[in-house]
Structure 1
Amino acid sequence: MSSAGDRAILNSIFNPLLPVGECVYEENIPEELRDQEEITPENEEAKVLELEGVKSAEAGNVAAAVISFSKAIEIAPNKPSCYNNRAQALRLQGHVAEAMTDLDAALELSQGKGRAACQAYTQRAMIHRLRGDNDKARLDFQEAANLGSEFAKAQLVQMNPYAALCNKMLHDVFSKLQRGECTGV
């Protein structure tokens, strides 16, 4: 059995487009929230195309990745991971509105359950945060955290205004200590 650290390393290799620590492992997801994907020839063919898309993206050919993910969607239109992957590639191309449409589709198809939903909530939250809509980002990060995303949990802590204030105060104290300005601590 592999450790959490081993799984995190493998995840960063096999899912390079996701934030580090983002992968959610089936054994960590309650049964009622797990992915319910059928094993069909279409889904298997779509997995191959998704892998091709990931390899294209890793090689820097995001346009080819979008094409592969789009073909996967044509073959298996009910497979949420295809929409997640294409959304990530579209976002990298600067097509944020189209990426949001794909993320919404992934959430609808996954019924808000499993890894696909977790990844879609996380990606959508990141887009909301980049747009400055922290309220929507917080809601999506919370959903992803509820599905087991450690990355989303960390983001929620960072977005907490009290945590931010505490971190700033600690930073200021340590900076003063380094400069020799605080001696009575």
Structure 2
Amino acid sequence: MATANDRAILQTIFNPSTPFGDIPGLDEEEDIQEEEETFAPELLEQVQDLELQGVSAAESGDVSTALERFNEAIRLLPGRASGYNNRAQALRLKGDVAAPRHLLPCPGALRDLDTAIHLGRGCGRAACQSFVQRGLIHQLQARDEDARRDFERAARLGSAFARQQLVLLNPYSALCNQMLCEMLGRLRNPNNASSN
């Protein structure tokens, strides 16, 4: 049987675009322990199965089915943060990022992320992933200060990917990284460096 660390390494190999340190299932045992205290075990198991079906559907490109599964999971356990975080990911894939906040029937990814963070009281795995997702949306919308705040929160919750994004958002760090890359390039190819 594979350990959580083995699964994380395999996840990184087979899905290199997954933010490292934010590997699904890595801390699953801890999350389940917390949820068992809050939700009825049989209902929680049903919702987790729906979420796994939704994740599988999204990974295979069937975002509509994924949204159906996540909607059903949220309907069954509306107080569980994970369902909103997962639905937000599917909504992002669909391009529904920032629906107007006053339109309740059209949740949008940002609204779901806000809900997941609120339900998780800003801590735990679902909140950490929600801060990362929301930070990425802010970054894409050129709202770097909002992105920085969310990445800082996710980093405090243990996200290595968020820490990496914070470094990339730092202009001095970016300049140092660029200079370091140039210097390493010159060391690797001294013949090309002399022609510059």
The 5-angstrom pairing of residues 69-88 of structure 1 reads 69-88=70-89
What one-letter code is carried by the residue in structure 2 that aligns with 1:21?
G
8 Å CA contact 1:34, 1:114 repeated in 2: no
Which structure 2 residue ranges, 5 or more long, are not aligned?
A: 99-107
CA distance in 2, matches of 1:42, 1:12: 31
Of 119, 129, 147, 1:109 maps to 119
What does residue range 8-157 of structure 1 map to in structure 2 within 5 Å? 8-9=8-9, 11=11, 18-23=18-23, 25-26=26-27, 36-37=34-35, 38-40=38-40, 41-97=42-98, 98-157=108-167
Percentage of matched positions with identical amino acids: 47
| Higher relative contact order, structure no. (Cα contacts within 8 Å, ≥ 6 residues apart) | 1
How far apart are the structure 2 equivalents of 1:143 and 1:49? 28
1:181 positional shift: 2.0
SS of corresponding position for 2:21: coil
Q: Distance in 2 between matches of 1:181 and 1:142?
A: 42
Per-residue Cα deviation, 1:99-139 (whole angstroms, up to 9, x for no partner): 00000000000001110110000000010011111111111
Structure-2 separation of matches of 1:155 and 1:103: 18
Number of aligned residues:
178
Q: Are residues 3 and 84 of structure 1, via their aligned partners in 2, closer, same or farther at CA, if it must alter by over 3 Å?
A: closer
* 8 Å contact from structure 1 (residues 17, 88) kept in 2: no
Q: Measure, in 2, the Cα distance between the counterparts of 1:17 and 1:86.
A: 19
Separation in 2, partners of 1:181, 1:149: 41
Per-residue CA distance 1:41-95 (angstroms, 9 max, x = gap)? 3222111110110111122101110110001000000010000000000000000
SS in 2 for 1:77: coil
Paired amino acid for 2:114: D
Supply the distance in 2 between the matched residues of 1:99 and 1:45 (Cα, whole angstroms).
23
Following the alignment from structure 2 to structure 1, what is the Cα–Cα distance between the partners of residues 152 and 83?
A: 23
Determine helix, strand or coil for the equivalent of 1:19.
Answer: coil
User: Aligned partners of 2:64, 2:4: CA distance in 1, in Å?
Assistant: 35
Task: Give the whole-Å Cα distance in 2 for the aligned partners of 1:118 and 1:10.
Answer: 21
> Match of 1:145, SS?
helix
TM-score (norm 1): 0.83
Distance in 1 separating the partners of 2:96 and 2:51: 19
Gap runs ≥5 in structure 1? none
CA change 1:26–1:107 in 2 (3 A) is same
